[in-house]
């Protein structure tokens, strides 16, 4: 019996990719469509997500060869 030729990976439309991205970000407790304000500054949603791991002390490996980001997350 002949096999069908694979057409390669399935292409998803752009709208579905955006919806998936928004859902994934919402799992972190961040609404990507809402900007946060800190006094007079506008803080973008992804900056709220990244702020806790910006500390330079989190760079490098510990004694067990695990990254410090691993423990923080």
pLDDT, residue 2, reads: 66
Share of the chain above pLDDT 90, in %: 14
How far is it, in rounded angstroms, from Cα 51 to Cα 64? 25
Quickly state the pLDDT bin for 71 (edges 50, 70, 90): confident
> What is the residue-averaged pLDDT of the chain?
83
CB distance 34 to 48 below 8 Å: no
What is the secondary structure of 6-48 as a DSSP string?
P--SPPPPHHHHHHHHHHHHHTTT--TT--EEETTEEE-HHHH
Asked if pLDDT for residue 69 goes beyond 80, the answer is yes
* Average pLDDT for 20-26: 86
Average pLDDT over residues 5-32: 85
């Amino acid at each position: 019996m002949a096999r069908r030729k694979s057409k390669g990976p399935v292409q998803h439309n752009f709208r579905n990719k955006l919806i998936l991205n928004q859902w994934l970000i919402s799992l972190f407790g961040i609404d990507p469509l809402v900007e946060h304000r800190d006094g007079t500054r506008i803080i973008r949603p992804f900056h709220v997500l990244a702020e806790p791991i910006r500390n330079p002390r989190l760079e490098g490996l510990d004694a067990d060869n695990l990254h410090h980001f691993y423990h923080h997350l």
